[in-house]
Structure 1
């Protein structure tokens, strides 16, 4: 007995829809979470664009969003530490060099806390992750503050510090949302 001719195209359509479902679920989760956070202090567009930069977002549930947000923060802190080191080596001003080394040390000291935060989120201890991230959020201000001790000197990584602060705030907000 031969199957009806419409059965094969219907089956293929059903399989295609099933394959797309995780992507849609990840997108729905992302938009729902960012919409919720957008009501507070996290910009919706920033939330969506930042978290969407990780390909794992396509199939992520809320737990995945919590972990992804911290991983993005860790990657940024590592890059910022390296940038501060590189600028310190190249700057002719000994004061600026010293402050950049201080910034590098602050970010280096924050990395273990960011990793602990990631471990806590992976274990679904979102409250613990949030607490660790709260401490990490002091790093950019500490870095920028060191430059203010000399009049007219501005941190050459101020913009990057602001970006890190935004990322860490997003990670904290996502994990705080999950802890409720």
Structure 2
């Protein structure tokens, strides 16, 4: 009896895992067709990894949006920590430190925007969720661009800004897809 129960649980888990994997693949495929800023491979890899670490992917697109927002928030929190370490060090000139302080504020604000987007998603207020996600996305672009204002200055956050931008794009693309389902 115990072995039969184990098999049943195993097959249910296997079925749900493949459904979550299918949901991720199909959603990323559809989203990447409709958004030139979204790369299919990046979308799938990010969400498969995140869905195993954050929470079950669920069986619907709304669950994936929630996971993508959590993933973006986790990435943004890591970036805030990195910026904080940069500011404590002595590797940057005064101009770069001003930019880094601005980036710190931008990313901190962005985390608040992601929280607001998650709440709006729960209430099925897709307009507010979309606005908050767009603001979060813009903050990474603003952070990167300000380093370009001084000739010869390079951003130490280019990789992080690009990643954060891409993660926000996933959430925004999925919100657009949700609009079609409501």
TM-score range, shorter chain: 0.7 to 0.9
Count residues with an aligned counterpart. 173
2:154 counterpart SS class: coil
Corresponding position of 2:75: 76
- Asked whether the equivalents of residues 57 and 64 of structure 2 are also in contact (C-alpha less than 8 Å), the reply is no
- Change in Cα spacing, 1:84 to 1:172, as seen in structure 2 (3 Å) is same
Corresponding position of 2:33: 39
- Change in Cα spacing, 1:103 to 1:11, as seen in structure 2 (3 Å) is closer
How far off its partner does 1:149 sit?
A: 2.2
Q: 1:125-151 CA distances to partner (integer Å, 9 max, x unpaired)?
A: 333211211121111221122212221
1:124 counterpart SS class: coil
- Asked whether the equivalents of residues 66 and 175 of structure 1 are also in contact (C-alpha less than 8 Å), the reply is yes
Per the normalisation by structure 2, the TM-score is 0.85
Q: What stretches of structure 2 of length at least 5 have no aligned partner? A: none
1:137 counterpart SS class: helix
How far off its partner does 1:17 sit?
A: 3.0
Q: What stretches of structure 1 of length at least 5 have no aligned partner? A: 1-8
| Correspondence 1:170 to 2:166 | no
Corresponding position of 1:4: none
- Asked whether the equivalents of residues 127 and 176 of structure 1 are also in contact (C-alpha less than 8 Å), the reply is no
How far off its partner does 1:123 sit?
A: 2.8
Q: Which has the larger radius of gyration?
A: 1
| Correspondence 1:21 to 2:15 | yes
Matches within 5 A, 1:1-150: 16-40=10-34, 41=36, 42-54=38-50, 55=52, 56-57=55-56, 59-90=58-89, 91-150=91-150
Q: CA RMSD in A?
A: 2.2
